[in-house]
Amino acid sequence: MKKLLAFLLLMLCSLPSFAQFTLNGADDYLRQKAEATEKQRIQDSLRLVQIEYQQLMSTDIRHRIKWVNMITYRQSIGYVENAYNLSYYGYMVTKDEWTFPISVRLTGAQNYNEKNMHSGFSSWSQHVTDFGMSGFRKIKGNEYISLGLHLPLGYEKYRLTGSSDRHTRLLIGGSTEERLMYISPNKSGLVMSVGFYQLMMSSKRYTFDAGFSLEVGVKF
């Protein structure tokens, strides 16, 4: 009887501690469950944002167009004419085999090999603008072949030796070029090319020129 009473007394003393332990465990479980639910909600929100962004990129033309810019310096050395120029090229990336960029070329510091030109002129100058197009095509890796066809139009001014009369004459011609190019595969990087050109011109001082050129620049 005494043992039974002692056991009952011990149980009564232990009930508050047991109840407290049970409540603490329940609180921990509920807190962990709430944290897991919040974490899952954040992950679902981020995933939804990514899906919406991908859908935007696939439907908005501003995200589908990939435009490439290139600025280059070219040095040309020819049988008749030597010159350098600064060029801008801009084109849109497509799946077509050939790419035809828009281009603007500024030419400076022209000089001529007098010994390869017709003599008999006391003064002579020409002013020519090239119209035409050039395109390039990938041949392997980051290497491209470029072909161009241009129509030079302009005029020349000259004075014959022993004459004070100054003449102005219309110029028209045709030129072709063939180049090998390297274009960096990165969004920005190096651009290089080397090639040859041929020119036919209706000038009084020369009718044919040919040479080679080196070009280096940046893509962005």
pLDDT value, residue 174: 94
pLDDT value, residue 210: 96
This prediction has a pTM of 0.64
pLDDT value, residue 170: 95
The whole-chain average pLDDT of the chain stands at 84
Q: Which of 84, 65, 63 is closest to 74 using CA atoms?
A: 84
> Of the given ranges (3-7, 130-134, 167-171), which has the lowest mean pLDDT?
3-7
Helix residue ranges, H only, the chain: 2-59, 61-64
The tens digit of pLDDT for each residue in 28-82 reads 667 777 777 878 888 887 888 787 777 766 665 555 678 999 999 999 999 999 9
Q: Where are the beta strands (DSSP E) in the chain?
A: 67-78, 81-92, 98-99, 102-112, 121-140, 143-160, 167-183, 189-201, 208-219
